[in-house]
Structure 1
Amino acid sequence: MSVYVAEEFSPEEADVLRRYFTNLYGPVFALVNLPEVVKGALFARYSRSPKSLRRLFLDEFVGELDISGDDSIDATIGLRRAEELYDKVFFEYGDDSVAQLGGVHLACEQASNLLTKVLEWGRLMAYLEQSTRYISYDARIGGRYRFYRPPEVLQSSLGTRYVGDMDRIFDTYAELLPIVIDDIKERIPKDPSDSDFVYRQAIRAKAFDSIRGLLPASSLSNVGIYGTGQGYEMLLLRMRAHPLP
């Protein structure tokens, strides 16, 4: 089966994450208790990083924030309270306009390219997807390449062939990447005014862009979504009616 590979966090890391993320180990979670500018910056960095959103927050953002006043916050408890309030307003009073007033930053991780297109179909929301132009897909998660493994395919007579073919595609990607990088370096020498970091990043981006056409639709990606309650309601209705499981 295609199983979500959950990250492991130290007790100290989990204590910090619990204040700002609605869950610590699932593939779908919301950001809370953070300034909007921080959420926006985090999502912007998210689209060009191979890290999960929670790991990215720990590695690159926590050190820049004053979190000393948030020690007593538990976002998972806050989420339950918010759900209770929403249920009361929406179901008891029938006021669906409340769905237009609140916005949520939501992360969906390890989603196939097919799923990302379903998620990003609505026009009432904003999206940032992990970019194949800036991220290498030769890395593995949990020892496996980053592609979706449909249970119905794996359990069929084509399961072994499917995994083998996908592995070979990603093997080819991994083999071509250093070759393409070296070729681009030969054709585009470093400008003396560029730093080593800038030159290296530019070369890698060109290489990623050159070979990303190899990546299949089953490739996994991370998606950041921002929308109102009404936008998420429409998203869920659209997904329930979609032919894909």
Structure 2
Amino acid sequence: MSGKGGDVRELLAQYVTNLEDDVFAIQNLQGVVGAVMARYSRAETGLRETLLREFVKEDKLKLAKAYKLIERVLIAYGDDSVGELEGAHLSFENISMLATKVIEHRRIGGSPIEQSTRYVRYDFKDPERGYHYYCPESLKDTPGEAVFRDRMDRMFANYGRMWQPLNQWLERHKPVEEAVYDLGDMGSTYADMADDKARKVFERTYRNDLKTKACDILRSFLPLATRANVGLFGNGRFFQHLISKMMTAPLAEASHLGRRAFEELTKVIPHYVKRARLLDYTAANERQMRRLVPRLVPELCRSGRDSGIQLLRPDFENMAGALAGDGPVSAQRLSEVWADEEECGFLASLLFTYVRAPFEVIRQRVRRMSREQRLEIYDTYYGERVTRRDRPERGIEFGYPYTFDLVTEWAVYKDLMRHRMGSIQFQALVPDMGFHMPGELEEAGLGDIARETVALAEELFAYLDAHHPTEREYAFLQGHKMRWLLGMNDRALMHMLELRTTPQGHPNYRRTSQKMHDLAVSLYPDRARRMNFVNHDPVFWSRSDSEARQRLKEQALEGDETAS
């Protein structure tokens, strides 16, 4: 492979990891690789030959040609799949936990990683920024800002007041002399440690074990205004969709972050995010649904109630009643009754995020609606679709073999919602369904401080609801309960339940996942029992074994570095 301008092999080697094999990686082509790969479908040659012939001239990339090709394919031809051929990394820092979920709710094509409340303490106070929480811009220079900061400061101060006493209680509950960690050849107890180096390894494992347990307990008292960092990798189509959704979000912070993401990604993958915009269709549908639902079903828009975790089933009793007295049941009649039951569930899914009621209560109400009322829901939810890109929200994904109506604390939702092979909807975050109070705090003598923190959050929520309603959810605590809907198929449920019941997981989402598996077994025993890595054992010290394994890995790495 040689030609004008010298050895083309040397030239091509800058952009691919090998020149001969049929499997190779691409390098040094960010912003251009999408254009090169887009030619796959219409070029007779392979990628290396296409790259050399069409996109490299002597020693330079033909950037103008690449950009024109991408623009023509994405804009003129509308070939969205090309948007998945280029990717970028993006960071959001010091944003609220509330905003992180607006980002992570977009689950196809992106891979997020979020700062973990398990490893980070929030009792520190920055000399300039104060405690680690986000104050909405809309509150700046208003009386609400003083109220917001006062309650937030007191909540974070209480978090700090609880930290050391809780850690001391955990030390009494598990003294270092009684702790057991499998540290390989070093032994498993503190008494086994033969020298200072081994004792330091054990002590570090013990400190981290207690720290992560304390963090797991105290995260319930972190409000959704708590600042967090999110790192994100995604392809162009994902980012275009994400930015559009963020720009359209009711949360002002998310809308601002969407605009900032657009500005920064335009610097690295400009042609892939060019079509990102505020979605007038989505915004209009949201407004219309929020007007329709209180008028159509006002009784479903009041205070919520805790109904635990339920696995939804068709209402077979209602179906049997509809078929009774008709003599032999024809296939046609059975089909009609089943179709109506399915439609009631589907319409209940469309209403779910706009009401404050269990799914089954919504479905029963839909069942009593007239044909005209049902059509009104359809017309409003789907809105005026002008192009195929005007797509309704996730309520129309209803119909999974497993659909769970869950009331859990927000922290459990936070961990389970990130599984991308499923569909999630959630109702308004209002702290009227209660708070999951960690039992360890009462035992540690911290119950009064804990209850004071919850009261402060609910007091702030009420104030914001009255004066700044669009910002009220910043006062919602991770331990407050919320209602959400989760639909999955068997493969996705198997992955989630087997992962989220491992010993190193948080105890609360482990219990939730164990309950979900129990319900799945009751419905489809032969399928659910084959999710045989679901762990049903109770675990208190979630990170003990994991921390011990981490020390062993560190020792192995240290040995490798010494040997080299």
Normalising by structure 2, we get a TM-score of: 0.28
Do the aligned residues in 2 keep the contact of 1:154 with 1:162 (CA within 8 Å)?
no
Query: CA 1:87–1:219 in structure 2 vs 1: closer, same or farther (change >3 Å)?
Result: farther
Distance 1:203 1:126 in 2: 30
SS at structure 2 position matched to 1:195: helix
Q: Does 1:127 align with 2:112?
A: yes
1:96, distance to aligned residue in structure 2 (A): 4.3
- How far residue 175 of structure 1 moved from its aligned partner, in angstroms, is 1.1
Q: Secondary structure of the residue that 1:217 maps to in structure 2?
A: coil
By percentage of residues, which structure has more helix? 2
SS in 2 for 1:227: strand
Amino acid at match of 2:88: V
Q: Which of 145, 162, 172 matches 1:176?
A: 162
CA distance in 1, matches of 2:166, 2:66: 53
- 1:226, distance to aligned residue in structure 2 (A): 1.5
Local SS of the residue matching 2:143: coil
Output aligned runs, 1:13-162, within 5 Å: 87-93=67-73, 94=75, 96-124=80-108, 125-141=110-126, 142-162=128-148
Is the alpha carbon distance of 1:215 and 1:84 closer, same or farther for their aligned partners in structure 2, counting shifts above 3 Å? farther
CA distance in 2: counterparts of 1:107 and 1:206, whole angstroms: 28
The separation in 2 between residues aligned to 1:242 and 1:87, in whole angstroms, is: 30
SS in 2 for 1:182: helix
Matched, 1:197 2:204: yes
**In structure 2, C-alpha distance between the alignment counterparts of 1:237 and 1:202, rounded to whole Å:** 41
Among 241, 247, 257, the alignment partner of 1:240 is 247
Q: 1:86 to 1:149 in 2, by over 3 A?
A: farther
SS of the equivalent of 1:126 reads: strand
- Looking at structure 2, the residues matched to 84 and 112 of structure 1 have their Cα atoms a distance apart, in angstroms, of 39
Offset of 1:188 from its aligned partner? 1.1
Deviations 1:141-164 (A, max 9, x none): 434111111122232222111101
Q: CA deviation at 1:183?
A: 0.4
Could you say which residue in structure 1 is the equivalent of 2:462? none
Aligned residue in 2 for 1:221:
228
Mapped to 2, the partners of 1:174 and 1:84 lie a distance apart of 56
Matched residues in 1 for 2:166 and 2:214: separation?
A: 6
Letter in 1 for 2:121: S
Residue equivalent to 2:216: 209
CA distance in 1, matches of 2:211, 2:64: 48
Percentage identity across paired residues of the two chains: 31
**Cα distance 1:85–1:136, how it changes in 2: closer, same or farther (>3 A)?**
farther
Distance 1:236 1:143, change over 3 A: closer
Deviates more, 1:218-227 or 1:132-141: 132-141
In structure 2, relative to structure 1, the CA distance for the partners of 1:168 and 1:100 (3 Å cut) is: same
**Distance in 2 separating the partners of 1:159 and 1:86:** 49
Which deviates more from structure 2 when the two are superposed, residues 226-235 or residues 145-154?
A: 145-154
Using the TM superposition, name which of 99-108 and 207-216 deviates more.
Answer: 99-108
Distance 1:111 1:89, change over 3 A: farther
SS at match of 1:106: strand
Structure 1 unaligned spans of 5+: 1-31, 34-80
2:86 maps to amino acid: G
In terms of mean alpha carbon deviation, does 102-111 or 172-181 score higher?
102-111
Pick from 143, 146, 150 the counterpart of residue 164 of structure 1: 150
Q: CA deviation at 1:92?
A: 4.1
**Residue in structure 2 matching 1:230, options 231, 234, 237:** 237
Does structure 2 retain, via aligned residues, the 8 Å contact 1:90–1:96? no
Q: 1:84 to 1:164 in 2, by over 3 A?
A: farther
* 1:46-74 CA distance string (max 9 Å, x none): xxxxxxxxxxxxxxxxxxxxxxxxxxxxx
Q: Label 1:184 to 1:86 Cα distance change in 2 as closer, same or farther (>3 A).
A: farther
- Distance of 2:86 and 2:212 partners within structure 1: 36
Which one-letter code corresponds to 2:71 in the other structure? F
Q: How well do the aligned residues superpose, as a CA RMSD in angstroms?
A: 2.4
State how far apart, in whole Å, the 2-side matches of 1:217 and 1:147 are.
8
Q: Distance in 2 between matches of 1:147 and 1:204?
A: 21
User: For the residues of structure 1 that align with 2:175 and 2:64, how far apart are their CA atoms?
Assistant: 60
Cα distance between partner residues in 2 of 1:167 and 1:86: 52
Q: If the length of structure 1 is used for normalisation, what is the TM-score?
A: 0.62
Cα deviation for residue 131 of structure 1 reads 0.9
133 and 87 in structure 1: CA distance in 2 versus 1, 3 angstrom threshold: same
Kindly provide the amino acid, as one letter, of the partner of residue 140 in structure 1.
K
